[in-house]
Structure 1
Amino acid sequence: MSMRTTNLGTTGPVVSRLGLGCMSMAGSYGSADPDEARATLAAALDGGITLFDTGDFYGDGANEELLGSALASRRDKAVLATKTGVRRTADGLVADGRPDYLRQACDASLRRLRTDHIDLYYLARIDPQVPIEDSVGALAGLVEAGKVRRIGLSEVSAATLRRAHAVHPITVLQTEYSLWERHVEDDVLPALRELSISLVAYSPLGRGLLTGAVRAGTRFASGDFRATAPRYTGANLTANLGTVEAVSAIAADLGATPAQLALAWLLARGTDIVPIPGSSRRTHLHDNLAAIDLRLTPDDLARIDAALPPAGARGDRYGTHSMTMIDQ
């Protein structure tokens, strides 16, 4: 396996075609082993991965601290991406795009990441109480101060993207994109390509479901948010397992795992798309890395499209509160 690379946006940085999503190392899917997480981060670098994705609200900063510690000796090899603009409160997550908060959050992330600059800084969610121009203006100030190299957005509509890009160049938009979640193809992806903005695809494996790791009788561990996510429970899960069967059958015919097929499909969508599968274990990481060598033919892609439901997964991606935080 030889890792391929691509540019984010029009001005770089150059990153690996596969990145590493680090949220699962903060316990979002149940407990995580910090020693195994550190070993996975080192193995990712050894395997050619250079883009590492975290957020200041992953484990209330603990995930950033883990990356800062684990990658400190190899900081020059890593492109660090983190997010802000979301706070945890007694009532759950809330968006906070106030300029003062964003500036304070950036300084805190720099300390936890043990670095003097953030390579890619995302506004994780849009605060409906703050004009996007004000939030992006604050992030632009962080670029001018040398604390941030480039700006990204997460889960925004094409209209919001255009407003933000008019204030300061947006390098990357991050959103969920996978075989069973293709909403981005309607309006957002065409806008990205018009503006030469890259797409970082999170949850490219359907939060584990597309790998076959989730079954009809699966009981999610304590703290695993999938236990309350609509598409992973009840009748929705039963319906969605049909997608898993279709993916598994095609993967078997190609001599690949379902995860490798799902990632290869995204890689085939364009060099401006960088999937960031989340792995907190080396076994999963190595399985994902092998997707780099799986080249899908036009016939393979046509077969995949024909086998999967056009509407994608059944059920919302998140619970009601979290869905209200996604810019439609």
Structure 2
Amino acid sequence: MKTRTLGNTGFNISEVGLGCWQLGGDFGPITQSTVDGIFSAALEAGINFFDTADVYGDGASERYVGEYLCNTIPEPIIATKYGRAAGTYPDGYSLSDLRDSLKRAQDRLQRDQIDLIQLHCIPTEVMARGEIFDWLRSMQQEKHVKFFGASVETVEEGLICAQHDDLSSLQVIFNIFRQKLLDELLPMALEKNIGIIARLPLASGLLSGKFHAHTEFDKTDHRHFNQDGQMFNVGETFAGIPFAKGVELAEAIKNKTPEGYSTAQMAMRWILDQPAVSTIIPGASRAQQVTENAKVSDLEPLPKALHDDLRRFYSESVAAHIRGAY
């Protein structure tokens, strides 16, 4: 597993991290033995970056992360989030609310200090006012967190956050189906030494090439209940593309996959080929997925001709189908 430096933090993190949303049960029920297998496979593969949030399973994901990784040597880098919990979102933000949230997260994660706290898709107007970044700085001074960043939904939000010179990271929806970030946001992040954490690298699994038009998901899975943005930003599910159209587009991507790569590996390698990206954080519902995802770090960069082809494909065939804030 290769590593990259995460923005201005000095952390050397694995190119492939582990997204832990699924550990909260938001992709369907999950058992302790499955969780143990996922973490074991991640550590075996050299993954040292784990991304979670307080609202994933109402704290369940953070608890799993804390329980499994609390005695890991060397110590992994753990990132969590603040801003979407009941009573906080959309207008309950305050310094005391942030502090209380962080203390609860520290307890669940079994950490005296959180490596990276990220604003969790908070309203654009709250970001723009700017006081919440002062509260984050206060949490640094009080030693609750080492560094802070933001998880955002849109390019506009990313650019707002990037105006703060001490911002360490931006977590963004970025994949072959979501290429708008290449125009302005990623170049700015690279220039300002802001680490890019790419979430949904497989567009909720679409870019694995394994779904078909009649694929069904568990009723507790956001891919069932949020396909059209019924519960939260539609971009968090299938990159904002209607499922049937996404399956069709994924089939076209599958036909572009070079020899020696699975379609999922090609899609993730495409992201890692972007110089602004620090890590990708695919989720995994079983240990074997973790192992296969981790192999992407050792694959050769994709040919320029394929990058050019995928850029054209996005512009001509994908962009018009993306829904939601972007």
- The aligned amino acid for 2:319 is G
Superposition TM-score, scaled by structure 1 size: 0.87
Question: Does residue 254 of structure 2 align to residue 258 of structure 1?
Answer: no
Asked if the contact 2:89/2:122 (under 8 Å) is kept, the reply is: no
1:105 corresponds to 2:112: no
Q: Does 1:124 align with 2:120?
A: yes
Task: Note the C-alpha offset of 1:83.
Answer: 0.2
Note the C-alpha offset of 1:94. 3.9
Counterparts in 2 of 1:239 and 1:165: CA distance versus 1, 3 Å:
closer
Any residues of structure 2 matched to 1:1-328 within 5 Å, and which?
3-74=1-72, 76-88=74-86, 94=90, 96-127=92-123, 128=125, 132-155=129-152, 161=158, 164=161, 169-227=166-224, 228-230=226-228, 236-251=242-257, 253-270=258-275, 272-295=277-300, 296-310=302-316, 311-312=318-319, 314-316=321-323
CA distance in 2, matches of 1:134, 1:271: 27
Q: Closer, same or farther in 2 for the Cα pair 1:282/1:26, shift >3 Å?
A: same
1:204-244 per-residue CA deviation (whole Å, 9 max, x = no partner) reads 001111102321001111111122323759x9322222221
SS in 1 for 2:149: strand
CA contact (8 A) 2:195 2:277 kept: yes
The verdict on how the C-alpha distance between 1:265 and 1:95 changes in structure 2, with shifts beyond 3 A counting, is farther
Q: Distance in 1 between matches of 2:293 and 2:91?
A: 32
Q: Contact 1:97–1:126 at 8 Å: present in 2 too?
A: no
**Shift of residue 105 of structure 1?**
0.3
Q: TM-score, normalised by structure 2?
A: 0.87
Moved more, 5-14 or 145-154: 5-14
Please report the RMSD computed on the Cα atoms of aligned residues, expressed in angstroms: 2.5
Cα distance in 1, alignment partners of residues 277 and 238 from structure 2: 29
Q: Which moved more, 1:28-37 or 1:16-25?
A: 28-37
Distance 1:161 1:304 in 2: 24
Unpaired stretches in structure 1, ≥5 consecutive residues: 318-322
Counting matched residue pairs gives: 313
* Deviation of 1:265 (Å): 0.4
Shift of 1:247: 2.1
Deviation at 1:6, TM superposition (A): 0.7
Distance in 2, Cα, partners of 1:130 & 1:289:
34
Structure 2 gaps, min length 5: 229-236
The CA distance in 1 between the partners of 2:16 and 2:315, in whole Å, is: 26
Matches of 2:145 and 2:280 in 1, distance apart? 22
The aligned counterpart of 2:232 is: none
1:15 counterpart SS class: strand
Q: Report the Cα offset of residue 167 of structure 1.
A: 5.2
Q: Measure how far apart 1:57 and its partner are.
A: 0.6
Q: Deviations over 1:252-283 (max 9, x none)?
A: x4221111000100011115341111113111
> Retained in 1: the 8 A contact 2:15–2:279?
yes
Q: Choose 236-245 or 282-291, whichever is displaced more.
A: 236-245
Residue deviations 1:114-141, cap 9 Å, x none? 1101111001123445764211111111
Instruction: Calculate percent identity across the aligned residue pairs.
Output: 27
Q: Deviations over 1:285-325 (max 9, x none)?
A: 111112122221212322333444544372426xxxxx5xx
Amino acid at match of 2:283: G
CA change 1:71–1:95 in 2 (3 A) is: farther
Structure 2 CA distance, aligned partners of 1:274 and 1:171? 13
Note the alpha carbon deviations across 1:177-196, whole angstroms, 9 max, x for none: 00001232233223212321
